[in-house]
Structure 1
Amino acid sequence: MIRPLKGKTPRRPAPKKPSSNQKDPVGVYCRVRPLSNEDEESCIEVISNTTIQLHAPDGIKANRNGEFKETQYSFKKVFGIKTSQRELFDDVAKPLVEDLIHGKNGLLFTYGVTGSGKTYTMTGSAGQGGLLPRSLDMIFNSIGPYQAKRFVFKTDDKNGMEIQNQVDALLERQKRDSQQSLLKTPSSKLRTDPEFSEMINPGETCKAEGVDEDSSYSVFVSYIEIYNNYIYDLLEEGPIDPIKPKWNIGGTPLRNTEFIPPQSKILREDQNHNMYVAGCTEVEVKSTEEAFEVFWKGQKRRRIANTQLNRESSRSHSVFIVKLAQAPLDADGDNVLQDKNQIAVSQLCLVDLAGSERTSRTRAEGNRLREAGNINQSLMTLRTCIEVLRENQMCGTNKMVPYRDSKITHLFKNYFDGEGKVRMVVCVNPNAEDYEETMLVMRFAEMTQEVEVARPVDRPICAFAAGRRQRNQAFKEELTRRLEERGGPVNGETPFVMNQLLQSFPPLPPCEITDPSDDHTLPRLIEVLEKRHRIRQMMTEEYSKTANMLKSMLQEFDSNLMAKENFIHEQRGKLGEKDKMIQSQKTEIDRLEKKSKMLEYKIDILQKTTNIYEEDKRSLQHELENREQKLQRELSEKKRMEARMQGMVTDTKLKWEKECERRVQAKQLEMQNKLWVKDEKLKQLKAIVTESKTERPEKPQRPSREKDRVPIKRSASPSPVPTAPPVRPPHRRSNSAGGERWVDHKPASNLELDTVMQPNIPNAIKVSAPNEKALSKCDKYVLTHQEVASDGEIQTKLIKGEVFKTRGGGQAVQFTDIETLKQECPVAPSRKRRSSGNDPPQTEAMDGDWTDVETRCSVAVEMRAGSNLGPGYQHHGNQKRRKP
């Protein structure tokens, strides 16, 4: 029948577990093994019972230039080379066993490099039993008298327990005994199994205190190994089928073997979100010897190999799990209470981790190399999980812990989440060759101590009154005592009166009649029978009397019991009030502890912040000092530079003062020359005017416009004083007509006037835009600019300058002169213009008024002054030049 597909069944939410706000750090212990040879160099020194010092060998210091220095590491306790196995067990494993008996989980694992003594610490040797055999011995010494019969507790293959009644348990025992008698599996022992009696000395046994006597206990053990990140069951048995032989992967039959190679197991999560190995064999044991025999059976199957560093090196992580199931007795105190919810299951995991190793030292190849890689990878995952847990707890982050990256971390994730105490024994080899690996182990151990695990809560107490087993035993003892006082049975023996009656009980006489006339046999038989009947009646009366006495004793005991129960009920009520008070006090204590924890955490954070600030302050102060020194150097350098520049400025100032004085004197001389030339010209003009007045009558002066006057440009050198009458000097060409070269800059926007008066500069470089190439070849520059004047005529300006080189290697132009050319219409109406200064206004003369001597003289003077303006200038028509 095919069923339709349905949606996935929703996962049931996990039941709420009682939370505990109290946390305990992971207990990390250190054990130092002795050196193999006394001649070897040691790198570890035990300073105190909690501190060791790790110092680098001389060879490593030379290679690393002193990088490794002496470092001290602190632990909860340090065990030196003279520490016995008993001392180590009392401090490390004994508290975990006590918690196991009281219903709490525990995890204990050994950690270290290969050859550091981890397996010896866990297992031990003859006379020096390790942590595992001593833990088993303590468990059975504590619960031995209170163990349930075999198969009363039964596993449900889902990491839980069930309870069977006495009948089902008996049938299960008979069935298992018959199977073991039929199944004969001869085993070939690789080595002789050690006896448990040889492991622990008789005087070193111990026992837990406070065992609940009203509970029944049962112990289950399982043994697994994690090899190449796969889980294998070391207690699994798989006999070969005699009819159908098994085959290896290569196709060859398995010969001379008993078992098929074990299959790997998987991890599952139960309904309480606890991890367990599915399908793992769990064996119920009833004594320490039986449990140790099971352990040694799995130990023979564990994978070990011979390496360069260890003759029997563990190639896998081994986990020995001790599971203790306990359930309360019923009200009568005789049988286990048939209630699955009352079962409390606690377990103790004893883990022997494989040692980390470097392939360069072990020279591993093939399978050994792959095994070492998987071992190191799983240990690295363990370190990563510890680091993330530490960061989440100290920094308040919520990063995901990578438990699933390795089977060993995935299996024990519940312990780090608050399911029990965690203890770690760090085993170290003081040999100097293991220095670098030992230093990594020390750092991991130091980091692990900072991880805190929630403290497990106590399991609830059964509702029945305590002391049921003791009360039943006391009742039996009291009944025996009273019967003894009243002549009753003592320790199961027949009463004294009954013994006398039985002894006086007459035996039957021979009742064979051989003669009909025999009159003695029957009367004697009748007499004996009557006597026996009287004795029987006496015995019946005695039994009735004893029964009545027992009944009265029971009634009296019941009344006393009722009174005691009433008293117990009253005391229980008072105890409940006390419990409420204690609970309130515990709540207040928890609150105060939480507050204290929070304050300690804040103080720690503030302390770390203060340290960071102090470090920043020191670094900033150091930087400030460096900058102050640098600033002082810069200030001194600046002062020296200022002094040097001050000297340069003083020298330059003196130089320029001299230069300015020279230029002022030259300018004054030039101005004096100009004034002298002007005075001479005025004298000549006055002479001409005076001469003209004597020759012809005076005519009206031709008016001239102020704008047509051009200022006379005098040369810097003084002109010679004329001795003859003034005549018109010949026309002199401009200085630019010589060997000087000009840059003739005519923008493209200029207009062609087609006039006679145009600037003509020979050997000039004509450009529409100035460039450095043209300027570098010339020493003069002229720019032609045209614009509309105020009267509407076009006015041309010639802007001249000198070209000189700059310090940066370029060319620069300094403008020195502006010439103005203006075109006028001859028929335009005359315009009046007021001259600047205090001169009276004059009207412009007509073009035909050239007969006046003064007018001609003024024109002549203007023509003479215009001869110095530039090269190739010719004045024709009505064009006039002006030079500002």
Structure 2
Amino acid sequence: MNRHAKYKTPRRPPPKKAPNNQKDPVGVYLRVRPLSAEDEECCIEVISSSTIQLHTPEGFKVNRNGEYKEMQYSFKKVFGVSVSQMELFEYVAKPLVDDLIHGKNGLLFTYGVTGSGKTFTMTGSPGQGGLLPRSLDMIFNSVGPFQAKKYVFKTDDKNGIEIQCEVDALLERQRRENNLFVPKTPSSRQKADPEISDMLKPEEACKADCVDEDSSYSVFVSYIEIYNNYIYDLLEDTSEDAIKPKWNGGGTPVRQNTEFIPPQSKILREDQNHNMYVAGCMEVEVKSAEEAFQVFWKGQKKRKVANTRLNTESSRSHSVFIIKLAQAPLDADGDNILQDKNQVTVSQLCLVDLAGSERTGRTGAEGTRIREAGNINQSLLNLRTCMEILRENQMCGTSKMVPYRDSKVTHLFKNYFDGEGKVRMVVCVNPKADDYEETLLVMRFAEMTQEVEVARPVDRPICGFTPGRRYRNQAFKVELSRKLEEHGGPVDKDGTSVMSNMVLSLPPLPSSELTDPNDDTTLPRLIEALQNRQRFRQLIIKEYNKAANTMKSMLQELDSNLISKDNLIHEQNGRLLEKDKVIHNNKGEIERLEKKTKMQEHKIDILQKTTKIYEDDKRSLQQELETREHRLHRELSERRRMEQRMHGMVSDTQHKWEKECERRVNAMQLEMQNKLWVKDEKLKQLKAIVVESKTPGHPDPPPRQTQPQRPSREERPPSKRSASPSPLPTTTPVRPLHRRSRSAGGEKWVDHKPSSSLDLGTVLQPVIPNAIQVSTPNEKTLSKCDKYVLTHQEVASDGEIQTKLIKGDVIKTRGGGQAVQFTDIETLKQQLTTGSNRKRKSSEGTPANKDQTDGAWTDVETRCSMALEMKAGSNMAPGYEHHGITKRRKP
């Protein structure tokens, strides 16, 4: 067990707040800065009071096609270059100041790139005061006559306000005034600080309406800056001589330490109401707008600024000027402040001047400036991230954690986005074309911020005393003084009669010392003085009685007035009771209507969500329908193309088969003619043999010619191979030339012969030049070749083995691979005709002429001459039959 566990302070639960369903969006206003030079290119055009158009300058392409794009953005209000500071204050800051006086919080910050006019909008210049001095002037013009004395309201260290009595406040004023040191007179070289009268014109003064005159007010201001994600108090008193010299005994000091000690950074804390505040921050009570503006200017001189390429006085930090207004009601008599801490209402207005986002490449920053720019951009990026997540949680119903703690800026203003006050943002832009990219990002952020909603602040409770107490008490004092003046003479400022002064102004007694017994003047003078005093005493008694009677009559009159007023009050109370009953009934009716309204709103939300779902479904179905229609049109077009292609292929195939049939018929006719010719030749030879054998004295022919005479072209026997279409039957048949195989071309082939192929032992084999023989093709081999041939063997219907050469083209695919598109098939078939010829010859011829006939057809020379008659380049042996079957296939 941890021994320190018992000292751990448990976390307080958040205070219970009344549920507030009313929300307002973040008010985003746009202000366009005038161009510094008239000839500069402008990229922003004000279209209306709430819309601008952003033109893309030359050199910037925003579309994929490289086209320029015109974009429009809408805001709550757009202020052009001719809008004055007063008009900007009327629209933006005046409602926040009015809410501050009525006990509500507010946040106003300026946002934009470097050099867009944020500091001018917030602070202004002499004659053109910004939002801050005008807000201070409006506050003190409204609550100035009702301010409490100094130190009656006192701040504690826990972001709260305490109330002191008049005596304690007087003692503290005396103690602090005694401890104040006399400030040094500024030298003539130093420039005097500007006054608020220099910033504002007298005719531009404004005042809030409906100020609670039965309360006392006190204004506190504080000024901080957030630099490199650290918080520094700009009003904190630091030693002017931070570098202490060391004397060497002579007339000149020697500096020992030349390093400046930076101020201590502050931390953020959370008060008992879970509101964020800067711990240890100095809060100064001010009693006039001039004093508050001087306090602001004192801190403004300590703010971090630097000279960059884009701005001579670029803000390097986020400045936050906090105006805190404390107000407490007067007591029932309207004289003193009610000494009840629970009745104190504290409201604050934060005026924030954010540092501008910038690109280091344009500003030329180096070293420390790069780190400053990085921290500025990181804090602004975290602000954008918080806005995006808030928008997503509100629109999508998610509960993502907003990263407020990633940056001091967002962590400090966390309560405002959670519903502690109104939020307003003034977006400042520079219309020059050089800032187009940064301006585009600012516009997108502003457009997204407008969709974030913040809960509307709740009105502060009203104390139970009757209103008008202050003026009623003053009127009573004036009336009492008037009546005393009528009955008892002149009246002083405090309401006392001159009679009381007469008692103190009695004539003095003369000297009663007797030095001479014959003195006759001293005693008569004393007697006369005593008599005068007696008469004066009687006059005072009469005046006193007269005043007492007057007072009694006044009291009686007041009693009668009070009785009549009591009767009037009773009558008014009766009326109030009736009104209360009416109000109670109206409240019940209002609650019923509110419940009905909530139910209707709930139904409307459900209907809106359902409508959104249906619209999304409709949109998706329309997209799907359009996609399917496109696909259907594409399929129909492909089908039409396919039909046209198939019609073409059918016509081509029909034409080809017609030619093939014609060729086969001609070949069959030629073959039959060749067979008839062979039979005729055989019959002629047999006839010649028979004739020669019957002729007397003729010697027997030799059994075999060693060198037979080569017959002429008309007498040559035809080959057994199928040929092209034969000539006319009336002429001598001529062997047509066959088309050379495509495998004999100049392309490079892949000769795919499986390992299961059989060698048939034929004399002529298909020869494919430039071929790579493989048993199994692979991607590397296919990438090197243009053509592809596959050797396939199978058993035909007659029992012979036929070889098919399946040829195709090697093509490249979109994925980077190779594919084979088959184009045609060649069939090679071996026929053994020796046995059939031998049987035919044995049946037709005689046994005596058998050797002679066989020798004439089977000798080597005759067979070679018959083989030479084949078409050159057919790459087939005489025993093969080329069927020429070609099958075209779709890739």
User: Is TM-score (shorter-chain normalized) higher than 0.5?
Assistant: yes
Conserved 8 A contact 1:804-1:811: no
Alignment correspondent of 1:229: 229
Alignment correspondent of 2:801: 803
Matches within 5 A, 1:368-407: 368-407=369-408
Counterpart check, 1:623 vs 2:627? yes
Q: Which moved more, 1:520-529 or 1:300-309?
A: 520-529
Conserved 8 A contact 2:63-2:69: no
In structure 2, the CA distance between the partners of 1:354 and 1:4, relative to structure 1 (3 Å rule), is: closer
Conserved 8 A contact 1:776-1:811: no
Matches within 5 A, 1:210-229: 210-229=210-229
Alignment correspondent of 2:82: 82
Q: Report Cα offsets for 1:683-709 as digits up to 9, x if no partner.
A: xxxxxxxxxxxxxxxxxxxxxxxxxxx
Q: Distance in 2 between matches of 1:357 and 1:85?
A: 26
Conserved 8 A contact 1:136-1:291: yes
Q: What SS class does the counterpart of residue 218 from structure 1 fall into? A: strand
Q: Give 1:160 shift.
A: 1.0
In structure 2, the CA distance between the partners of 1:490 and 1:294, relative to structure 1 (3 Å rule), is: same
Counterpart check, 1:640 vs 2:641? no
Q: Report Cα offsets for 1:325-351 as digits up to 9, x if no partner.
A: 111112222221111111111100000
Counterpart check, 1:546 vs 2:554? no
Q: Distance in 1 between matches of 2:274 and 2:505?
A: 74
Counterpart check, 1:457 vs 2:458? yes
Q: Give 1:195 shift.
A: 1.4
In structure 2, the CA distance between the partners of 1:275 and 1:507, relative to structure 1 (3 Å rule), is: closer
Matches within 5 A, 1:213-362: 213-239=213-239, 260-362=261-363
In structure 2, the CA distance between the partners of 1:571 and 1:309, relative to structure 1 (3 Å rule), is: farther
Q: Give 1:571 shift.
A: 5.1
Q: Distance in 1 between matches of 2:65 and 2:649?
A: 52
Q: Distance in 1 between matches of 2:155 and 2:501?
A: 55
**TM-score, with normalisation over the residues of structure 2?**
0.69
Q: Give 1:191 shift.
A: 4.2
Conserved 8 A contact 2:243-2:255: no
Q: Distance in 2 between matches of 1:589 and 1:552?
A: 57
Q: Distance in 2 between matches of 1:433 and 1:243?
A: 43
Letter in 2 for 1:212: D
Conserved 8 A contact 2:158-2:271: yes
Matches within 5 A, 1:818-829: none
Q: Give 1:20 shift.
A: 1.3
Q: Which moved more, 1:237-246 or 1:467-476?
A: 237-246
Letter in 2 for 1:380: L
Q: Distance in 1 between matches of 2:614 and 2:191?
A: 62
Structure number with bigger Rg: 1
Alignment correspondent of 1:866: none
Q: Which moved more, 1:34-43 or 1:351-360?
A: 34-43
Q: Distance in 2 between matches of 1:772 and 1:389?
A: 74
Q: Give 1:421 shift.
A: 0.2
Q: What SS class does the counterpart of residue 24 from structure 1 fall into? A: strand
Q: Give 1:54 shift.
A: 1.2
Letter in 2 for 1:772: S
Conserved 8 A contact 1:775-1:803: no
Alignment correspondent of 1:130: 130
Counterpart check, 1:46 vs 2:34? no
Conserved 8 A contact 1:267-1:411: yes
Q: Distance in 1 between matches of 2:433 and 2:663?
A: 87
Q: Distance in 1 between matches of 2:337 and 2:356?
A: 44
Alignment correspondent of 1:418: 419
Matches within 5 A, 1:661-680: none
Letter in 2 for 1:361: R
In structure 2, the CA distance between the partners of 1:503 and 1:461, relative to structure 1 (3 Å rule), is: closer
Alignment correspondent of 1:10: 10
Q: Which moved more, 1:460-469 or 1:123-132?
A: 460-469
Q: What SS class does the counterpart of residue 542 from structure 2 fall into? A: helix
In structure 2, the CA distance between the partners of 1:68 and 1:262, relative to structure 1 (3 Å rule), is: farther
Letter in 2 for 1:280: C
In structure 2, the CA distance between the partners of 1:468 and 1:79, relative to structure 1 (3 Å rule), is: same
Alignment correspondent of 1:172: 172
Conserved 8 A contact 1:359-1:372: yes
Q: Distance in 2 between matches of 1:360 and 1:69?
A: 25
Counterpart check, 1:772 vs 2:756? yes
Q: Distance in 2 between matches of 1:652 and 1:58?
A: 64
Letter in 1 for 2:88: L
Conserved 8 A contact 2:147-2:218: yes
Alignment correspondent of 1:71: 71
Letter in 1 for 2:640: S
Alignment correspondent of 1:91: 91
Alignment correspondent of 2:681: none
Q: Distance in 2 between matches of 1:261 and 1:128?
A: 34
Conserved 8 A contact 1:801-1:813: no
Q: Distance in 2 between matches of 1:254 and 1:587?
A: 73
Aligned-pair identity (%): 63
Q: Report Cα offsets for 1:109-147 as digits up to 9, x if no partner.
A: 001111111000100111111100110111111111111
Q: Give 1:482 shift.
A: 2.6
Q: Report Cα offsets for 1:589-647 as digits up to 9, x if no partner.
A: 65566567667766765676676566546644543443233223223233334434655
Alignment correspondent of 1:726: none
Conserved 8 A contact 1:775-1:811: no
Letter in 1 for 2:636: Q
Conserved 8 A contact 1:22-1:590: no
Alignment correspondent of 1:861: none
In structure 2, the CA distance between the partners of 1:589 and 1:178, relative to structure 1 (3 Å rule), is: farther
Q: Report Cα offsets for 1:532-569 as digits up to 9, x if no partner.
A: 22321331232233134324423543524544544554
Alignment correspondent of 2:438: 437
Q: Give 1:500 shift.
A: 12
Counterpart check, 1:27 vs 2:27? yes
Counterpart check, 1:141 vs 2:125? no
In structure 2, the CA distance between the partners of 1:363 and 1:13, relative to structure 1 (3 Å rule), is: same
Q: What SS class does the counterpart of residue 180 from structure 2 fall into? A: helix
Counterpart check, 1:194 vs 2:194? yes
Structure 1, unaligned runs of 5 or more: 663-769, 780-798, 815-884
In structure 2, the CA distance between the partners of 1:501 and 1:341, relative to structure 1 (3 Å rule), is: closer
Conserved 8 A contact 1:50-1:74: yes
Q: What SS class does the counterpart of residue 333 from structure 1 fall into? A: coil
Letter in 2 for 1:207: K
In structure 2, the CA distance between the partners of 1:625 and 1:401, relative to structure 1 (3 Å rule), is: same
Letter in 1 for 2:54: L
Q: Distance in 2 between matches of 1:243 and 1:110?
A: 37
Q: Distance in 2 between matches of 1:536 and 1:633?
A: 131
**TM-score, with normalisation over the residues of structure 1?**
0.70
Q: Report Cα offsets for 1:467-521 as digits up to 9, x if no partner.
A: 2212211211221233344345445499999599889976756656554234454
Conserved 8 A contact 1:488-1:546: no
Q: Distance in 2 between matches of 1:113 and 1:462?
A: 47
Letter in 1 for 2:355: A
Alignment correspondent of 1:705: none
In structure 2, the CA distance between the partners of 1:19 and 1:491, relative to structure 1 (3 Å rule), is: farther
Alignment length, in residue pairs?
684
Q: Distance in 2 between matches of 1:440 and 1:242?
A: 43
Q: Distance in 1 between matches of 2:160 and 2:212?
A: 21
Q: What SS class does the counterpart of residue 299 from structure 2 fall into? A: helix
Alignment correspondent of 2:524: 523
Q: Report Cα offsets for 1:352-375 as digits up to 9, x if no partner.
A: 000111111111111111111111
Q: Distance in 2 between matches of 1:622 and 1:381?
A: 42
Q: What SS class does the counterpart of residue 223 from structure 1 fall into? A: strand
Letter in 2 for 1:156: D
In structure 2, the CA distance between the partners of 1:500 and 1:613, relative to structure 1 (3 Å rule), is: closer
Q: Distance in 1 between matches of 2:126 and 2:351?
A: 20
Q: Give 1:577 shift.
A: 4.0
Alignment correspondent of 2:487: 486
Q: Distance in 2 between matches of 1:599 and 1:425?
A: 37
